[in-house]
Structure 1
Amino acid sequence: MLSRIAESLFWIGRYVERADNTARLLDVHLNVLLEDPWVDEPSANASILSVMNIPHEDQVNRDDVLRKLAFDVGSSASIAGTLTAARENARRAREVISTEVWEALNTTRMGLPRWTRASRPHEYFVWVRERAAIVWGLSSATTSRDDAWHFMELGRSLERADMIARLLMTRNLEGTTGPNWTTLLRTCSAHEAYLRTVRALVTEERAAEFLLIDRLFPRSIAYNLDRAETILTEIEGSESNRVLAGRARLALGRARTNLEYSPVRDILDDLVPQMHEVQRACSTASDLIRDRYFLPAATVAWNQEAL
């Protein structure tokens, strides 16, 4: 597979997943602002932008958050920007992805303008989540389990681990008590799975353990870190090609084992730094994957000699 095609597929996976999880994060953030009577809204808004690594002023209102994270087509951190970028990457990889996936991404991009004027953001977030589910469903049903599938799934797994870490960081937003654990489970579409698995009422430690290290639930951080490691193993070729990919797997494995073998209470007491570690591991792995698979080979510079 050409490196440019692999890179486009990788970023389709990341961008669609980023749009999905940004919609979930914004939805829970706006609900907290509505439900918490003691919330310091400017501080909470500034904090959510910090979680997403968005530069901001000291005084941030709700419209600023929605503009930067929901409607800004030119930002790779906003929903509109990521869905636009996903469509452009799909166009570059058109000969590899199926017609159904291409049409789903193109239709999603064409439907964005009507939502920038929507007065009810919740409906926009629901639409984004539904469109992401359609893309992933069609991709799963129409893509052979070859390198095309592996690179898209690799991007998806890295982005999901990173974004779930950011979502958990909203528990510690400044100016508010943050969402409760039942809300976080519902935001991750994990509440029913939690009840079936744990068979107990939602408590802080049990819910955190489920979202952090459950090895069967596809939105837990450990599941996605392990998934990314597995995919890298499947992509790797001969031994000589495994150095950078092996380092990427090592970064992901360290983050995963740190979560799996640390007491949940210790992680909760140090939640933000722990989630930053997950994000750093995903960023390191992404950089190593880029260096290994996506950068073009060095070209030879020819110097014309004087005759």
Structure 2
Amino acid sequence: MSEKIAVLFGGNSQEREISLKSGKNILNALLKVGINAIGIDPIKFPLLYLKKYGFTKVFISLHGKGGEDGTLQGILEYLNIPYTGSGILSSAITMNKFITKTIWKAHGLPVYPHFLLTKKNFIKSNYLKIKNKILKLTLPIFIKPNCNGSSLGIFKVNHIDDIFNTIEKSFIYSNNLLIEKYIRGTEYTVGILNKKILPPIKIEYVNSFYNYQAKYYANNTKYFCPSGLSKKKEKELSNIVLYAWNVVKCTGWGRIDVILDNNNNFQLLEINTIPGMTSQSLYPIAAKTAGLSFYDLVIKILNLT
């Protein structure tokens, strides 16, 4: 039986726009190399019909909720259709920044001080208690939706007076927030492909942090691959990233974001189990440095299923 690939993109998460771009690039690459592939937006097509329409494999290019959180992976397991990327459990874990960091910390991996704030607790709790907890981290801090990607709803807070209205703004994106100590340093992102580390990318941005604007629209954000790290430091980074990837049982392909702080120590930020594949995305840049064209990369990811 010949293969029939469904490329899933779009969806209804807050990252829909990026997913549409990623998915179309993947679909075009598959079509150009002669693979029978069809692009599907789950908003317009009931996923339980994938088997009925003869799809033999799924290339997932849905970012965020409904794509990276294990729910889609559960549907595909139920349908017995192989798919790209990590499985149900690792997808569900890594979508949750707080749980991921808790596991990393338990394994002795480097993460900066943080705590989880739920909407329920925020409403019920006494503000002074929260304020003191935040001050223990020392300002500036980051406020991040706990289960979002693409830097949506992330805010950097420098002054104590701005804390509560910023928390309320961030709650628009999620009912659970990760409150984290701000790390001064240089940001790197490291791709993983089939248990191997891709060349790390150093990120330089003009904004106060690597936000949505800097990621997708700013033309003054710079990427360096090779990263300029010494061989020794690159080896150290590879070891940390691979261990961080393995302890949460991720598979196939993905990306881990890291900061090298001002004390020359790496600190883990988060995992992305379905990286962007747009023309601005970092994962294809790293693969290219490793000698893989976009077409090679897409085929390789597909063949890992």
Identify the structure with bigger relative contact order (alpha carbons < 8 Å, sequence gap 6+). Answer: 1
TM-score normalised by L of structure 2: 0.27
